[in-house]
Amino acid sequence: MRSDNEIQLDILSGLAWETSLTVADFDVAVKDGVVTLSGKVASFAEKRCAELAVMRVFDVVALHTAVEVHLPIADARTDKDIGLALTQLIQLTDYLDEEKISFIVENGNVTVSGELEWEFQQNALMHGVAGLTGVRGLCSQLTIQP
């Protein structure tokens, strides 16, 4: 296994490659391959992008995320607005059955639950929700039942 310093450098390098991120927005600590990522970002999509960049690094055992989403005033939306946008997203996506998916929006945090047939559906739905303006956090309680 590589040293914590090597892992940390690879993580910082990976974050630098993400054009939507600014490395200076993050602090990275590594202890025995367990990464703590902290900082502040302007959208949940940025937070998710950073998490994925960290998890792509070889020898990362686990990730603890302490990244806070501080939405700009222009991106603030009510839970109702986020819910309407999420409803439209599900309705306009041909391969999602809106009768099998439900969600709760609370203070900008979205919890999606339901049953899907394929993993690609879950990945696409999570990516779509993460990109919605106003979302601060995302929890998936989806199950896959082929």
- 3-state DSSP assignment of residue 87: helix
Residues of the chain with CATH 3.30.1340.30: 4-69, 74-144
For 68, other C-beta atoms within 10 Å of its C-beta total 11
pTM for the whole structure: 0.82
Instruction: Show Cβ contacts of residue 9 under 8 Å, excluding neighbours closer than 6 positions.
Output: none
| Residue 139 main-chain phi, psi, to 5 deg | -130, 130
101-126 residue pLDDT tens: 999 999 999 999 999 999 999 999 99
Fold classification of 74-144 (topology level): Histidine-containing Protein; Chain: A; (3.30.1340)
Alpha carbon distance 67, 96 (integer Å): 30
Average pLDDT over residues 57-78: 94
Which architecture characterizes domain 4-69 according to CATH? 2-Layer Sandwich (3.30)
